[in-house]
Amino acid sequence: MNTKQLLKPTMKDIPQGRLGMWLLIAGEFVIFGGLMVSYLLYRMRYEQWAEMASHTNVILGAINTFVLLTSSYFVVKAHQAAQRKDSKKITMYISLTILCALIFLVVKITEYSQKLHHGFTFSGKELAASGKAIESSYWGFYFLMTGLHATHVVVGAIVLFIVMQGARKGKNYHRIEIAGLYWHMVDLIWIFLFPLLYIAH
Amino acid sequence: MDTHKKHGFWHRYFFSLDHKDIGFQYLLTAMFMAAFGGFFVYVFRYNLAFGPNDIPLYGDLAAKQYNQLVTNHGAIMIFWVGMPILLAVIGNFLIPIMIGTDDMAFPTLNKISYWVFLLSCFVLLAGFMMPTGAFGGGWTMYPPLSVSDFGYNNPNTTFWTNFFTGNTFFLLAVALEFISMLMGGINFVVTTLNKRAKGMSLMRLPLVVWMVNIANLLFMFSVGPLIAGAFMLLMDILVGTGFFDAYRGGDPILWQHLFWFFGHPEVYVLLLPSIGAVGEIISTFSRKPLFGYKMVILMVIIAAILSLVVWAHHQFVSGIDPGAANIFSLLTIIISIPFAGMVLSYLGTLWKGNIRFETPMLWALGMLATFTFFGGFTGLHLGSNVFDIYAHDTYFVIAHFHYTLFPTVFLGGFAAFYYWFPKFSGRMMNKTLGLIHFWGTFIFFNSIFIPLFWLGLQGQHRRIYNYSAWNDLLMQPEHIMARQIATVSLIFLLLFQFVFLFNFFYSIKKGKKASKNPWEANTLEWQTDSPPPHGNFDPYPVVQRWPYDYNHPEKELDYCPQSEI
Amino acid sequence: MNIFPESISQIGSEMDKLFWIITAVVGIATVITLFLFIYPIVTRKRNKTKEEMYMVGNSHGKRKWIYIGMILLFLGDMYILLKEHPIWESVEQTLPDPDFKIAIIGKQWMWNIIYPGPDGKLYTDDDIMAYNELHVPVNKVVHMDIKALDVVHSVFLPQARFKQDALPGRTITRWIKLNKTGEYDISCAEICGTGHSIMRGTMYVEDFNTWKKTMANIYKK
Ligand code: HEM
Ligand SMILES: [Cu+2]
Ligand SMILES: [Cu+2]
């Protein structure tokens, strides 16, 4: 080793991928935080919104919560496997996680089609036309927040798929952990959204 | 010297992952955007002084275009000039060499963030080509005005007609710019935490590195709610949701909160890197340690935290609870105190110094003086909720925030530019031209905005195309005269920038060769070649001391580089 | 050359005075800071020893002048707050009993003024609407219900030093009491679209008898 490499500046107290992911997660939380606080302010102002919240499907929401929690468990397992550099187990657990993501999305789509069927649309035009103008923004929040979250689920699943490919080739095991952190965030955000949107009072 | 082979133009400007090249790309892009911001301000100021017809280089100006130019001037100067220069250029170029490392923690992410930034520039400019014209509702984008012709309000529109509008493009451009700066910010913070040279403890970091990082963290924590708000506003425009529609379960004031929760910290995000660079420069050219280094950092952190809780001073008359306004007024006025500590530290650095009047030092002193005397002190006037009732949305506010932003972005930016130019180009800038540029900019900058303070106190409100309806109040000879002084000064100010452009392109090719350390400064970037080779250091430096050992009693020279034992 | 346009209310004059108080505080701070700027520049060529120059400021004792400066500014700040607070309270946080009530409604790009009509009550059938012309009696407390129809506007009465945003879907009540008769401006201080710069109304402050006649005329129409 020459002197240049000896002095190479790397302070690996915290691996930099993990540090970067933490910052990204913090940023994401402020974004969702902004949405949730806005929603809460309106929700407290307009009593009519509680009635709208009762139209959400708590059972499907609860199923999805369960699905996501399970998926987080699989991610933890995958991380443990990654520490042992066990490519087979990693592939299995990540595949299970992605399966959970797919279930989540299917349930989500079912829910959306139910809502649209009842005339609860994103823009709320139908509700406004039927004289329930104030209520219409509730569905704006519902679709915006859950939709944004679902986008994160999709992105997270893709990222997991990519790092899984790496692990199968026996490369970049540490990326499992970082992608896993992201997945936990997606899960955690849902844990906040579920009571906010689904539980009426 | 450079052991790597020289890369071609395409490589350097399109594919390079080197932090210095990316910094340079940001710089050129920001200068390009500044040309737009400057041209717009010329057009609309010309209109205010000499009427809307036959504006040289432009033609006739209509009221709608006036609003579009004002809006885009403001947005460009803040998001596409201030942010890239002060965060991205300073951060990219300086952080790795100042902490003694080879590159960013995530070079590819760095590259992507530049490309997203470039895309956001094009999206913004494309807004001018939309059938509805560019967005003209003020850079603050207050709804319902920013939605009023679209979405729910206009049943004749569809998603796609709403999409191809100046409003949508403006919002998308701002959102892309935020995403780019967020990616850049994560990169800077991780780089600073993880890639410091041996011996570079946090308390040995140069001030400007501290400041860029605090600015980035502040940005990351304040911009989230606005990104959320931008999604909501975008949906109001595109699909007709009612997030900000008072008649459909929304509230226009919510946008104002989301916007200013970001908007106030944003000016600190711009200020901190700039004032950090000024600190480096003042210390170097006073040949003295930066006085109270740790206290300055502490004060800046306090100010940054306070800046998150003062936002409603932009809304004293917008219909918020008057009781709450008292608290915001108190906090706003209190925020002057950490800043006083910081400015006094800088003045303590000057005190008894062997001041060298090199070009960067003049810019730095000019920045500190105008920022403090006019920007900071008129902030006390506006922080007082009572006086703000009158001054809000008048030219007093315009003059106030230009006295904070112009010194921050341009005076501080040029200070940094003249200071680090030898390092990134390997050549010195011409000093005479630099001085001409400084005095031309400094004098005319003041003579633009001092008349605007007075006009504001006279009751001249902002974003007005033409004051002919206010004949008695605002169209007396002295008002017209004040407007003309401001506009003529502006034209001179813009002309003096050509001196800079000439100096820049001339010096980069033909300037005197710069040594490693032309200013005899201590920080690590001056210990490597000018310009630094790919990889910056060979071998990597080991840091032995803090960066401000000027005139150390035990040393022979009046400076002592950080890597010297 | 005057600094402010003429002031037509008691409160307005107090606000002008506040401006000068703040300016005085700031002025003192400016003089001190300016000295700290100029003195080192003037004396930059004097010989100093390295011990003198190596000032690090790493203990509270050495930073005492900075603390003193901060404390002085703090006192100045508190003085400003002390002076401004009573004015804010009377402008924004109290609502003296009205002698007369009107509603002022911003709309792209004009001011709709609603007078209570002969019954003296707002929002009844006999209300009268006028455009861009506001008649108010001098030396009387006038309540204004401020709102907007389409986008955000802002009622700005420069000579009365009065400003309040007008919001769609919300009514904000503020008061004025003016002490000079004459014709004054109503500006819109919040950008509201292409016509923002033509959105001007006129406020006529009239002595009580003239005002009564004007009102009678308006109601006749
Ligand atoms: C080159 C010198 C500059 C001049 C003469 C200038 C002049 C002006 C004027 C007169 C206005 C108000 C127009 C109106 O309300 O009708 C304005 C607006 C504004 N300027 Fe500048 N400006 C300059 C540089 C800057 C810089 C460096 C920044 C920020 C970094 C900046 C940010 C803004 C913003 C945010 C607005 C508000 C836009 C709005 O009302 O939506 N300007 N400028
Ligand atoms: Cu602010
Ligand atoms: Cu208006």
Q: What is the pLDDT of residue A87?
A: 86
Q: What is the pLDDT of residue B149?
A: 84
Q: Is B231's Cβ below 8 Å from some Cβ in A?
A: yes
Q: Which are the contacts of A190, defined by CB distance < 8 A and separation ≥ 6?
A: A64, A65, A68, A149
Note whether C78 and C140 are same-domain residues: no
Asked whether residue C3 is domain-assigned, the answer is no
Asked whether residue C4 is domain-assigned, the answer is no
B497 CB near ligand 1 (under 6 Å)? no
Cα C81 to ligand 1 centre (Å): 29
pLDDT digits (tens, 9 = 90+) for B129-151: 998 889 999 999 998 999 988 88
B406 CB near ligand 1 (under 6 Å)? yes
B348 CB near ligand 1 (under 6 Å)? no
**Residue B347 pLDDT level (bands cut at 50, 70, 90):** very high
Asked whether residue C134 is domain-assigned, the answer is yes
d(CA C158, CA C185): 7
- Name the DSSP letter for residue B200: -
Interface residue of C45, C73, C146, C164 to substitute, partner B, most B CBs within 10 Å? C73
Helix %, strand %, coil % of chain C (to 5): 40, 30, 35
DSSP H helices, A84-173, are 87-117, 125-129, 133-168
How far B230 CA sits from the closest chain C CA (Å)? 18
Note whether C110 and C38 are same-domain residues: no
Pairing relation of β-strands C172-177 and C182-188? unpaired
- In this complex, whether B and C touch, counting 3 or more CB pairs under 8 angstroms, is yes
Q: Would the CB atoms of A30 and B225 count as touching at under 8 Å?
A: yes
Q: How much is the pTM?
A: 0.94
* Last residue in a domain, options C64, C93, C122: C93
**Residue A1 pLDDT level (bands cut at 50, 70, 90):** very low
Q: What is the pLDDT of residue A12?
A: 59
Note whether C86 and C70 are same-domain residues: yes
Strand partners, C131: C112
Interface residue of A18, A29, A32, A123 to substitute, partner B, most B CBs within 10 Å? A123
Q: How many domains is chain C partitioned into structurally?
A: 2
Q: B59's torsion region: left (phi>0), alpha (psi -120 to 50) or beta? A: left
Q: What is the pLDDT of residue B326?
A: 93
pLDDT digits (tens, 9 = 90+) for A132-184: 888 888 899 999 999 999 999 999 999 999 999 888 887 788 888 899 999 99
* Angle at CA of residue A14, ends A12 and A20, nearest 5°: 115
Q: Is B336's Cβ below 8 Å from some Cβ in C?
A: yes
Chain B residue with minimal CA distance to C59? B292
Q: Which are the contacts of A113, defined by CB distance < 8 A and separation ≥ 6?
A: none
Asked whether residue C216 is domain-assigned, the answer is yes
Q: What is the pLDDT of residue C97?
A: 93
- Name the DSSP letter for residue A201: -
* Ligand at shortest distance from the CA of B466: 1
Q: Is B144's Cβ below 8 Å from some Cβ in C?
A: yes
Task: Indicate if the pLDDT at residue B240 is higher than 60.
Answer: yes
Task: Indicate if the pLDDT at residue A101 is higher than 70.
Answer: yes
* Ligand at shortest distance from the CA of C198: 3
* Residue in C3, C50, C93 closest to B323 by CB: C93
Note whether C139 and C72 are same-domain residues: no
**Residue B11 pLDDT level (bands cut at 50, 70, 90):** low
* Last residue in a domain, options C38, C60, C93: C93
Residue with tokens 């299970």: A96
Q: Which of B314, B398, B403, B497 to mutate to test the pocket of ligand 1 (most atoms within 8 A of CB)?
A: B398
Task: Indicate if the pLDDT at residue B2 is higher than 60.
Answer: no
Note whether C115 and C214 are same-domain residues: yes
Strand partners, C153: C166
Note whether C168 and C120 are same-domain residues: yes
Q: Which of residues 338-377 of B touch C (CB under 8 A)?
A: 340-341, 343-345, 347-348, 350-355, 365, 369, 372-373, 377
> How many Cβ atoms sit within 10 Å of the Cβ of residue B192?
24
Q: Is A195's Cβ below 8 Å from some Cβ in B?
A: no
Q: What is the pLDDT of residue A11?
A: 61
Q: How many residues does chain A have?
A: 201
Determine phi and psi for B307, rounding to 5 degrees.
Answer: -65, -15
| Closest-CA residue to B238 (of B129, B153, B162, B347) | B162
**Please, what is the average pLDDT of chain B?**
92
How far A191 CA sits from the closest chain B CA (Å)? 19
Domains of chain A: 17-199 (1.20.120.80)
Interface residue of B139, B255, B283, B461 to substitute, partner C, most C CBs within 10 Å? B461
Query: Which residues in chain B are contacts of C66 at CB distance < 8 A?
Result: 292, 295, 341, 344-345, 348
Interface residue of B390, B549, B550 to substitute, partner C, most C CBs within 10 Å? B390
Asked whether residue C1 is domain-assigned, the answer is no
Q: Do C66 and B348 meet the contact criterion of CB atoms below 8 Å apart? A: yes
Cα B264 to ligand 2 centre (Å): 4
DSSP H helices, B207-321, are 207-238, 252-286, 293-306
Query: Which residues in chain B are contacts of C202 at CB distance < 8 A?
Result: none
Domains of chain B: 9-527 (1.20.210.10)
- E strands, chain C, are 100-107, 110-115, 128-131, 133-137, 141-148, 153-157, 162-166, 172-177, 182-188, 200-206
Asked whether residue C190 is domain-assigned, the answer is yes
| Closest-CA residue to B380 (of C89, C80, C92, C67) | C80
Q: What is the pLDDT of residue B555?
A: 87
B400 CB near ligand 1 (under 6 Å)? no
> How many Cβ atoms sit within 10 Å of the Cβ of residue B21?
21
pLDDT digits (tens, 9 = 90+) for B394-439: 999 999 999 999 999 999 999 999 999 999 899 999 999 999 999 9
Q: What is the pLDDT of residue C53?
A: 87
pLDDT digits (tens, 9 = 90+) for B58-103: 999 999 999 999 999 999 999 999 999 999 999 999 999 999 998 8
* Ligand at shortest distance from the CA of B263: 2
How far C28 CA sits from the closest chain B CA (Å)? 11
Strand partners, C165: C154
* Last residue in a domain, options C93, C122, C142: C93
Q: What is the pLDDT of residue C179?
A: 92
Q: Would the CB atoms of C187 and B323 count as touching at under 8 Å?
A: no
Q: Which are the contacts of C101, defined by CB distance < 8 A and separation ≥ 6?
A: C116, C122, C142, C143, C144, C145
Please report all neighbours of B, defined by 3+ CB atom pairs within 8 A.
Answer: A, C
Note whether C87 and C175 are same-domain residues: no
Q: CATH code at C188? A: 2.60.40.420
Chain B residue with minimal CA distance to C79? B333
Note whether C82 and C155 are same-domain residues: no
Q: Would the CB atoms of B198 and A41 count as touching at under 8 Å?
A: no
d(CA B195, CA A8): 9
B455 CB near ligand 1 (under 6 Å)? no
Q: What percent of chain B has pLDDT over 70?
A: 98
In the sheet that C153-157 helps form, which strands lie side by side, from edge to edge? C133-137, C200-206, C182-188, C153-157, C162-166
The predicted model gives B546-554 an average pLDDT of 91
DSSP H helices, C126-177, are none
The complex's ipTM works out to 0.95
Query: Which residues in chain A are contacts of B228 at CB distance < 8 A?
Result: 31-35, 38
* Residue in A23, A46, A135 closest to B220 by CB: A23
Chain B residue with minimal CA distance to C186? B470
Note whether C88 and C157 are same-domain residues: no
Q: What is the pLDDT of residue B4?
A: 46
Chain C residue with minimal CA distance to B554? C50
Q: What is the pLDDT of residue B556?
A: 86
Q: What is the pLDDT of residue B390?
A: 95
Chain C residue with minimal CA distance to B557? C50
* Residue in C50, C165, C200 closest to B319 by CB: C165
pLDDT digits (tens, 9 = 90+) for B248-281: 888 999 999 999 999 999 999 999 999 999 999 9
Q: What is the pLDDT of residue B468?
A: 92
Please identify every stretch of chain C with a pLDDT value under 50, giving residue numbers as ranges. none
Q: Is B231's Cβ below 8 Å from some Cβ in C?
A: no
Note whether C72 and C125 are same-domain residues: no
Q: What is the pLDDT of residue B3?
A: 40
Note whether C55 and C117 are same-domain residues: no
B409 CB near ligand 1 (under 6 Å)? yes
Q: What is the pLDDT of residue B554?
A: 87
Q: What is the pLDDT of residue A187?
A: 93
d(CA B516, CA B513): 10
Q: What is the pLDDT of residue A10?
A: 63
Asked whether residue C38 is domain-assigned, the answer is yes
Note whether C140 and C175 are same-domain residues: yes
SS3 label, residue B152: helix
Asked whether residue C2 is domain-assigned, the answer is no
The predicted model gives B490-512 an average pLDDT of 94
B461 CB near ligand 1 (under 6 Å)? no
| Closest-CA residue to B30 (of B121, B132, B104, B141) | B121
- Domain span holding position C19: 10-93
